[in-house]
Structure 1
Amino acid sequence: MPQTDLDVIGVGNAIVDVLAKADDAFLAQHDIVKGGMVLIDEEQAKSVYDAMAPGVEISGGSAANSVACVASLGGKGGFIGKVADDALGEIFRHDLKALGVEFSTAPLQNGPATGRCLINVTPDAQRSMTTFLGAAGYASIDDIDPDQIARAAIIFFEGYLFEPETPRQAFYKAAEIAQKNKRRTALTLSDSGCVERQFDAFNDFIDQHIDILLANETEAAALFQTGDMNAIIEKAKNTCELTVVTRSEKGSILIPREGEVIAIDAVTPEKLEDTTGAGDAYAAGLLFGLAQGFPLARAGALGSLAASEVISHFGARPAQSLKAMAQSAELL
């Protein structure tokens, strides 16, 4: 069996984030769902982008953000996702590789442009996302390298990319390779709308292939068909080896199939600036901790710490070393 020299491989959307400040009136004017994520076409992307306030462009994508945080924690991450052979695609590739993340997916030729996510952040720090997937939606089974999957302790799937049929087949292939090599698999549900639209398909994939499930309260309610946390806990215990429900300022709940439920406190930053990427960072800390063999409570605490750093500034990737923060908190 190959050695696990990668802590986490993320399989997800290769997206460049465009972040700008906005007010609720702007969201209403452009039919943007506050706090959610909706897919748009290239023409809509241009219209919203042209109307947005000046902002910043940062390589993003949920699973890519997570592996960037794994790298900041001192771990070794890998990423599988599709960009086009264009300027934004090259920026995305450079940004990941500069962090030490292994990213070797071939670029898309003769197709749509590299995807971008237009993120409007309101004064309450809520991020409202409109996403043009572009090339990201063309990730396929041909992009899955069995040797690379076998080298990772945990393969982490991004729910956003589960919706298109072609990437979904790549998910199944990667998960089957992971199981064959006795590697753990993790899935973030990403958005309650994804769960509602793909309810049966999500449940099938989770039942067959997922060891670790991550969701926020809204996503968990959509999957388990109840908003009652006690009922969610009971259903979760019968679903995966480990289910994690994040609850924003209320922290998170770790629900193992065997053993007691563990409540993890949130870590409050000095200033809450932008919640973009909070779940991605939490997933990174948790999964890195599990890949390192940490106890559940310590892995969850690492997730909360990583999330606190990311929400303290604009943008979804760390602005300071998560490893140094974790060492100061005596978690590493």
Structure 2
Amino acid sequence: MYPNVKATMEEIKRLVEIPGPSGFAFQAIEYVKQTLAEEGYDCVITNKGGLLVTVKGQDDTRHKYLTAHVDTLGAMVKEILPYGRLRLSMVGGFNWNSVEGEYCEIHSDNKVFTGTICMHETSVHVYRGAGEIKRDDKHIEVRIDEVVKTEEDVQKLGISVGDFVSFAPRCEITPSGFIKSRHLDDKASAAMLIQLLRHIKAESIELPHTTHFYFSNNEEIGYGGNSNIPEQVVEYIAVDMGALGDGQSSDEYTVSICAKDSSGPYHYALRQHLVQLCKEEGIDYKVDIYPYYGSDASAAMHAGYDVKHGLFGAGIESSHAMERTHESSLENTEKLIYAYVLSPVID
């Protein structure tokens, strides 16, 4: 059965548990490579470290291109403090308060160490007004789960400036149909593309157009999907999260189709094509504008590619923090991805 949303949620869980901040997403890329190779796909790792899979279609002159990114938010060690803690430099855009109290891993060259991200002034029994202190890179630190009392103690462990720090996902699938976890942006979409590729292979489906599937690894820092686009590509779809909050029409139960983000409007005719597919297939959808957002598709446009670009995905609550979506949003998104790849390119 396709889509099988329960299987998709289990695939998401496997993906989010693989650490992969932007610049350090090679383990997630390798997982996708092995998974799709087992299905019989030829996978190409780009020089940038992304993964490209091409499915030849009936029309090999006008191609489609779909992306999802497997890189996540994270941090790097900025400084080793004299008392044995770490100061961080942010990787990707998030608020420091969203990771306060989170468990983390420090990825040194020879070992992975665990720790907790916390305020220097955490103890309310010591620091009066601790709740009002600004959450920023001057006050947020990593408390390492090792006996370290000095900078030298930390260095002896092999931890150094530039080591990546990943955040614990804490993924749960609830009986009520929700999946809650860090990094649903955008491993939920990556899982959906993996599931689609499995279905195409299992059912020997021939697509109407040659279609490329790119799993990017630098989206959170702005340039994940802005290269490795064949000249035959005429349509580019970023499958990425829908942003939820006050003033937004998107929710956790429908597929969110983006009309505009901080980069400007998406291609009008392609957006209308996606809406029409939803109407024809009975897919629950919302059209929305994401005010502080950019995607692999907008990055491709900034790079100068002459393509029609679009963006849609599952609605993700509390983006760049403890995220959540519902199985119905995943199902509606998977249905739209499938309807799209089976549809002709627009004129």
TM-score scaled by length of structure 2:
0.30
Q: 1 or 2, which has the higher helix percentage?
A: 1
TM-score scaled by length of structure 1:
0.31
Structure with more relative contact order (C-alpha pairs < 8 Å, separation 6 or more)? 2
Q: 1 or 2, which has the higher strand percentage?
A: 2
